[in-house]
Each structure stands twice: as structure tokens, then as C-alpha cells.
Structure 1
Amino acid sequence: MEYENIYIEEENNIATITINRPKKLNALNKRTILELHTAFKELEEDANTKVIIITGSGEKAFVAGADISEFAHFSEDQGRQLAAEGQERLFDFVENLTTPVIAAVNGFALGGGLELAMSCHFRVASENAKMGLPEVSLGVIPGYGGTQRLPSLIGKGRAMELIMTAGMTDAAKALDWGLVNHVVPQDELIPLCLKIASRISNNSPIAIKYAIKAVNAGFKYDENGYAVEIDAFGTCFGTADFKEGTTAFLEKRKANFPGS
């Protein structure tokens, strides 16, 4: 697929996806969501990609929201379809990738932008980041998983207030609430994400895959996270990565994981 609204840079087994619609503050439209889905899918299938970082172009915004002009005149059924397709194609898809995804939140992450950041496995923010779900100010609610992921990250009460006031939180408060893991000056954002990604890439891709699956299971009503963990733990014992990891430990050397 030829990308119009994103670009990808790859180095040292780390891929960085940049949403590139600066005039629209990187707002998500249908084309961008499709491009992101395609990029994530291709990188997930590439064994050389150990970690994915996603960010927005420029210094103002990660993603300032959805492109409202695309759905302002939608019917009820079209609205339901928009949310269902978006969740399946991008937001749920990212959450369940077996390749770790780090959101590098530079500037505004509002509406669909915050929902995209929350679907990533964790988030790092620049000091100028502003985050919120302002949908109720438009007469609608978050539709890409925001009402579910935000409470699980910051607690029900805080999420209710943020959603109902259509307010924004700054980076410092987001760090205090656990919405982001780190806050740094903007020029240090990508370097820190790359540093963290490098540390992740040194570990077993297979073990990370099962760790993501087990953690996610604990947040799903129809799964027993403990049971998933037990099964995944046992499955790891049959992998080449487990053999290499334990052998390297006993031989007091650095492991060279085959990823299988």
C-alpha cells in the first residue's frame, strides 16, 4: 500500500510510525486509519521488527482527534458502523498485537488520538502534551474504546470526570494518574522511546508475545487472566527462546533469542 498520511522509519529492529497530517493536527480520517492498520499488520508479520513506536509529525499534536468532517452527517447506523469498524481495524488490533507498541505522545492527544494512545501497550509523553476525550462537547461519546480503556488506566471516577467535562489533562497529571509512564522534554521524547524499545528488543519476542496476551486477558470480562497466564507460562517451556534464555543464564552469557 502506498502511504499518503503516514511514514515509517526502521532501524535496529525498531519501527517508528509517524502520522503525517500536520495541517489537520494529524487528525484520524478513514484513510489514515486504513494506512495505520496496514502498517501495523505488515510490521507485526515482519520478524525483524521487535518494537513499534507511533507518534505524530510536528510539535503540536500526536493526534488531535478524529476528522469530524467525515461523519458530521452520519445516521445512527452509520455511527455504529464507524465505531465498530474503527475498533476492529485499528484500536483493538493495536491492543492485541504481539509486537510491543509504544505511543510517543507529542502535544495534543484528544478524542481518537487519546484512544489510539491508550490502545498502545504503554505511553511516553512530552512535557507539552495535553490529553482528553472531548466528545460530549460535540453531542457524542468516545467511540473507539475510550469509555473502556480510560477507566482501566486512571480509575472510574477520574475517567468519568474527564469524559463528562470534556476537559484536558496535562502531562504531569497524566503521569500522576498512570495514564503515561514517563514525561520528558519534547526533544527527548523519541530518544527515550528508542532507548526503552532497545531494552525490550533484547528480550525474548516469544515471551513478550505471551506476556501481552496474559496481561490483556486480565482486562477482558470473558477471559480468566490467571488461566491464560498459566497456559502461556507452560507454552513458553516448549520454545527455542526458553531453551536459549535458560542456557545463556546458566552459562553466564547474553542470550541470543531466535524468536521461536
Structure 2
Amino acid sequence: MFARSCSRLVASKTAVPLTSYLARTARPYSSASSTYEHILTETPRPGVGLITLNRPKALNALSSPLFKELNDALSKYDEDKDIGAIIITGSEKAFAAGADIKEMAPLTFAQAYNNNFIAPWSHLANAIRTPVIAAVSGYALGGGCELALMCDILYCSTNANFGQPEIKLGTIPGAGGSQRLTRAVGKSKAMELILTGDMFSGKQAGEWGVAAKVVDGGKEQLLEEALKTAEKIAGYSRVAVVAGKEVVNKSQELALREGVEYERRMFHGLFGSQDQKIGMTAFAEKKKPEWSNE
């Protein structure tokens, strides 16, 4: 929620749309999907859906119209049987520099509360079963940091800058930042970051466990690493991948004993899938499994 201040900080630079990179590499599998105003969608690798936030003049500031499109694209990819992993990214300069303050500033409590303002932002975390990878370059502040934290896997470049600076605007995180950041870095560090509004670097994100991988390079190198992982995930059984995502997410909600029991039940349940038989038979016969995704 700090896009306006961040915009002033980096206004002298020019955002480079990710589609220019995709066009240059000319991957044979790349194809355009639905047309949106605030995002771009592509399928750059087999089984991989790519969503690029595309409000370069606003440093990809997050707004209700953008999230409506994002949620629509996520749902379509999630329902597509040919898509096994999704990537969300932004520009070289900003993943998303925050929420659109112009949209938020005039709201009253009654308007925000009665309309359940920004609740749809949690669609990614609450409804999407396909694994989602955040590829973060540049600024990921406020809502941008929260969006990245909602993703299942977070990759970032060394030039990434994260933060929850809402305290500087007289408010607090509203899309899960206080909860997910605390789970990632611990109470004391999260408290410091949220109460000071300080940023932390991509390097620190890797050291603190916020990011699974920190890429030393530009946006192209970052995206390539995310694509490799997404394509690898998409190459496995959809049934097993969805189950794996589910049990890891449950670990954040359940006590250890209950979590282990939940995992065991899911493990037992997979013995009713065709892919469990396909996978184990292929292993025994030293063959590559051909998944049915059933």
C-alpha cells in the first residue's frame, strides 16, 4: 500500500513489459490467452500459465479492477486441465509497488466494511489449487508483498525490495501481510518490519526463508528459473501435486500431530488414484511414467 511514494522514488526509470522478453525468446509453446486491461497472460512452456501484472505507469499498483482480472485469469488456468503450474510476475522495476492509494484514500469505515474491501484479494490463497509461483523483481511493497506471500513458491532477484509500509500511511496490512510474514520470519522480525515500515532486500528474503530462491541477475534470469520450476511441477501427476500443495498448506493451520494425521490420510487416499499405480509401476519397470492426472 505504498505505490504513490514508491512511484516518486523511481519515476525516472522506464518499466519494461515482460512480454518483450517473451517475444525476443520466441518460445514455440508461447501463446496468448484472454485479453485484459491490467494484466497479460501467456503459456510460455507446456503446462505453465504466466500472468504478468501490467500497470507500468503505476508500478503495477494493485486495484480492484486489476484483482478482478487476476482472479479471472487464475481461475481459468486452475480449471484448465493442460495447466499444471502458474507464475505471477511484474516488471523489472516492480512486481507491485503497493495498493492503489487513490482508490483507498476516500473510503469510510462503513464502505470498506460493508463491501468487504480487498477480500477478493485472497482468492489466490483460498480458491486456487494449482501451484502458483511468484517471480519478484524490483518493488513488492504493501499489497505487492502480500500478493507475493500468498503464492506457494516465491522466487526473487537480488534487486527485489519487500516491505509492509502501511504504518507510514496510518494503517496496517489488510491482505494477510501480518499473518504470512510472521509465519515466514517469526514474530519479532515481523513486528519490527510492520511497525517500522522498513523494507528488506531480495538477499534478506532468501536468508530469512521468505524466498525459496534468490536469482543473481535480471528479470530474464529470474523468469527462466521460475519457468524451469513451473515446468517441472507441471510434468508430474496433477493429483499428487494438488495433494502435496494441500498438505503443506495444512501445516500452517494444524498442530503437528493433527497435521501428520491429515497428511497420512491424504497419502492413503492417493492409493485410490490411477497415477499412484502408474508411477509405482513405472518406477519398478524403470520406465518414465505417463500420467493420467486421475
Q: Judging changes above 3 Å, is the alpha-carbon distance between structure 1 residues 13 and 166 closer, same or farther for their aligned structure 2 residues?
A: same
1:24-63 aligned at under 5 Å gives the runs: 24-56=58-90, 58-63=91-96
* 1:210 paired to 2:262: no
Q: Corresponding residue for 1:229?
A: 263
Q: TM-score, length-normalised on structure 2? A: 0.83
Task: Kindly state the Cα deviation for residue 93 of structure 1 after the two structures are TM-superposed.
Answer: 3.0
Q: Judging changes above 3 Å, is the alpha-carbon distance between structure 1 residues 2 and 197 closer, same or farther for their aligned structure 2 residues?
A: closer
Task: Kindly state the Cα deviation for residue 227 of structure 1 after the two structures are TM-superposed.
Answer: 3.0
1:62-101 aligned at under 5 Å gives the runs: 62-80=95-113, 84=116, 86-87=118-119, 89-94=120-125, 96-101=127-132
Opposite residue 136 of structure 1, the aligned amino acid is I
Tell whether the 8 Å contact from 2:95 to 2:144 is kept in structure 1 after alignment: yes
Structure 1 segments (4+ residues) deviating >4 Å? none
Task: Kindly state the Cα deviation for residue 95 of structure 1 after the two structures are TM-superposed.
Answer: 5.4
Q: Corresponding residue for 1:167?
A: 198
Tell whether the 8 Å contact from 2:71 to 2:123 is kept in structure 1 after alignment: no
CA–CA separation in structure 2 for the residues paired with 1:247 and 1:226:
26
Task: Kindly state the Cα deviation for residue 73 of structure 1 after the two structures are TM-superposed.
Answer: 1.4
CA–CA separation in structure 2 for the residues paired with 1:24 and 1:81:
28
CA–CA separation in structure 1 for the residues paired with 2:138 and 2:86:
19
SS of alignment partner, residue 48 of structure 1: coil
Tell whether the 8 Å contact from 1:17 to 1:55 is kept in structure 2 after alignment: yes
Q: Corresponding residue for 1:152?
A: 183
CA–CA separation in structure 2 for the residues paired with 1:221 and 1:253:
37
Q: TM-score, length-normalised on structure 1? A: 0.94
Tell whether the 8 Å contact from 1:248 to 1:255 is kept in structure 2 after alignment: yes
Alignment length, in residue pairs? 257
Identity %: 41
Q: Judging changes above 3 Å, is the alpha-carbon distance between structure 1 residues 25 and 81 closer, same or farther for their aligned structure 2 residues?
A: farther
Please give the root-mean-square deviation of Cα atoms over the aligned residues, in Å: 1.7
SS of alignment partner, residue 237 of structure 1: helix
Opposite residue 41 of structure 1, the aligned amino acid is S
Q: Deviations over 1:97-116 (max 9, x none)?
A: 22110000010000000100
